[in-house]
Amino acid sequence: MLPRKKVVFKPALLVIIGLILGLVISSQFLPATHAQSANISQESIDFLTKTGRAMAEVTAAVKPAIVNISTSRTIKISGGMDPFDDPFFRRFFGDNFRHPKQQKEQKSVGLGSGVIVSSDGYIITNYHVVKDAEEIKVLLSDRKEYTGKVIGSDPKTELSIVKIEANGLPTVSWGNSDQLEVGEVVLAVGNPYGLNQTVTMGIVSAMGRANVGIADYEDFIQTDAAINPGNSGGALVNVKGELVGINTAIYSTTGGYQGIGFAIPSNMVKSVMASLIKKGKVVRGWLGVSIQPITPELAKQFSLKEDIGALVGDVVENSPAEKAGMKRGDVIIEYDGRKIEEPNALRNMVANTSPGGEHEVKIIRNNQPLSLKVTVGELPVEEQGEVVSAAVYENVMKGVTVQDLTPEIEKKLKIPGRIKGVVVTDVSEESPAAGVLAPGDVIQEVNRKKTVDTKSYEEIVSRITKDEDVLLLIYRKGISVFITLSQK
């Protein structure tokens, strides 16, 4: 009987055998990626590849027109601890030695986005992005930086127009936001958290969102495309690469993205922009009616089949609505062929209409449908409450907001008819005029020049230099007084 041979395994061979056994065993338990790939049809792969390429093309076409907007302004903060404000010190020396609290100046910076809509440098952004900014820097996709200037703002829609001195710039073409449908794919492009040229994809979640509490005129597009801080003023585009909205705000309990974002429809943006550039203010259409929603109870009282539309509660005397034959109790159900689901929709449609044109309004009166022709007028100043200007003044009048003095304001503030000027509606905390001017003051003169309205006020204030002291004649609490303003 022959002796058994001793089998000796070299270390390298043991490693190889171990690897082979491991692969064999793991193949029994782990899914095979090759097998998975084989289960994906070529049709699906081709479809998804084409979809990915299409999205990439849209993104490449839009991104060059999206800019980063950085702003800075000076704010005043209280200084550090006052050594004289010590209980032990006051016990011996009393309060006479206490120093007034010192204020320090500090630079506050902000970031946002913007969309170039004309090759000669007009940029759309949000009002809150550039509000009270002393310096605006615009960074393009090619890393070129420009100084921007606000040429007009409309706080009522949360929109501002910034201009840079450049030509031949890339732009985004306008889309028709009225044609957007719920479920349609959209892309949001902007600079969230300062991360330039960020693109997110989603769908249109809802249309005509109002009562959000962001602006006076609300007709928002709701989307689930991720929008975060810094996206404000960026573009919402459709699959054609057309601008259908300006990203404005998010609904969030944490400050970050939670699946609900809001964008201003492009048709509203286009209308506001054209008015600001051509006329220096926003001119809105006006019917002259007070309207309210139709509740189930009101629908029953007025014998309506549905609780949709806008119920006319009152008609202003000599208004376009009265001239067209509209009456109290009418229910407006259509405006220019577009259905009115609730009052805010009608308000926005009319506001976006240029005054002077004739428009068809369908109503229900005493259970009977009627069609009226209405020539839309211009919203009166006392109703729209337009401010003087959104331009940022680099002088002591910075941060002072004024409005034309109307009969309604005169009556409310008990201002005599002989007083002519502009009324102060707001003074920001950072303004050199803070603590000197106050809401309700009527500015009659600036540097001995009369300010009879907001236009003359703007002309005078825009000429004041940065370090120039200003003499104001104001009307306050029944008397006219002279006051001076200077840079502190």
What domains are defined for the chain? Answer: 37-78+105-282 (2.40.10.120), 285-378 (2.30.42.10), 387-485 (2.30.42.10)
Q: Which is more confidently placed, 407 or 471?
A: 471
| pLDDT for position 4 | 40
Enter the tokens of residue 319: 């208004």
pLDDT of 58 above 60: yes
The pLDDT confidence band at residue 231, using thresholds 50, 70 and 90, is: confident
Spatial distance between the Cα atoms of 341 and 309, rounded to a whole number of angstroms: 5
Spatial distance between the Cα atoms of 242 and 177, rounded to a whole number of angstroms: 10
Q: Return left, alpha or beta for 275; rule: phi > 0 is left, psi -120 to 50 is alpha, else beta.
A: alpha
pLDDT of 334 above 90: yes
| Under 8 Å between Cβ of 92 and 118 | no
| pLDDT for position 237 | 93
421 phi/psi in degrees, rounded to 5: 165, -160
| Under 8 Å between Cβ of 162 and 138 | yes
- Non-local (6+) Cβ contacts of 325 within 8 A are 372
Chain segment 443-452, per-residue pLDDT in tens: 999 998 999 8
| pLDDT for position 13 | 46
Average pLDDT over residues 421-449: 89
| pLDDT for position 44 | 87
Provide the percentage of residues in the chain whose pLDDT is more than 70. 81
The pLDDT confidence band at residue 39, using thresholds 50, 70 and 90, is: confident
Average pLDDT over residues 109-124: 91
Chain segment 341-393, per-residue pLDDT in tens: 888 889 888 988 888 889 999 999 988 899 999 999 988 765 554 444 445 67
Q: Residue by residue, what is the 3-state secondary structure of the chain?
A: CCCCCCCCCCHHHHHHHHHHHHHHHHHHHCCCHHHHHHCCCHHHHHHHHHHHHHHHHHHHHHHHHEEEEEEEEEEEEECCCCCCCCHHHHHHHCHHHCCCCCEEEEEEEEEEEEEECCCCCEEEEEHHHHCCCCEEEEECCCCCEEECEEEEEECCCCEEEEECCCCCCCCCCECCHHHCCCCCEEEEEECHHHCCCEEEEEEEEEEEECCCCCCCCCCEEEECCCCCCCCCCCEEECCCCCEEEEEEEECCCCCCCCCCEEEEEHHHHHHHHHHHHHHCCCCCEECCEEEEECCHHHHHHCCCCCCCCEEEEEECCCCHHHHCCCCCCCEEEEECCEECCCHHHHHHHHHCCCCCCEEEEEEEECCEEEEEEEECEECCHHHHCCECCCCCCCCCCCCEEEEECCHHHHHHHCCCCCCCCEEEEEECCCCCCECCECCCCEEEEECCEECCCHHHHHHHHCCCCCCCCEEEEEEECCEEEEEEECCC
459 phi/psi in degrees, rounded to 5: -60, -40
Least trusted range by pLDDT, from 187-191, 211-215, 370-374, 407-411: 211-215
| pLDDT for position 8 | 45
pLDDT of 125 above 60: yes
Average pLDDT over residues 302-315: 85
Residue 289, strand partner residues:
315
Least trusted range by pLDDT, from 36-45, 83-92, 263-272: 83-92
Q: Which amino acid appears at position 192 of this protein?
A: P
Most confident range, picked from 55-64, 105-114, 192-201: 55-64
| pLDDT for position 155 | 87
Q: Which is more confidently placed, 317 or 124?
A: 124
| pLDDT for position 62 | 92
pLDDT of 185 above 80: yes
Average pLDDT over residues 453-463: 87
Least trusted range by pLDDT, from 179-183, 223-227, 302-306: 302-306
Average pLDDT over residues 188-216: 83
pTM value surpassing 0.85: no
Spatial distance between the Cα atoms of 171 and 115, rounded to a whole number of angstroms: 8
| pLDDT for position 113 | 92
- Per the prediction, the chain carries an average pLDDT of 81
Least trusted range by pLDDT, from 32-46, 177-191, 315-329, 410-424: 32-46
| pLDDT for position 15 | 44
pLDDT of 97 above 60: no
| pLDDT for position 114 | 93
| pLDDT for position 407 | 77
| pLDDT for position 295 | 84
| Under 8 Å between Cβ of 457 and 446 | yes
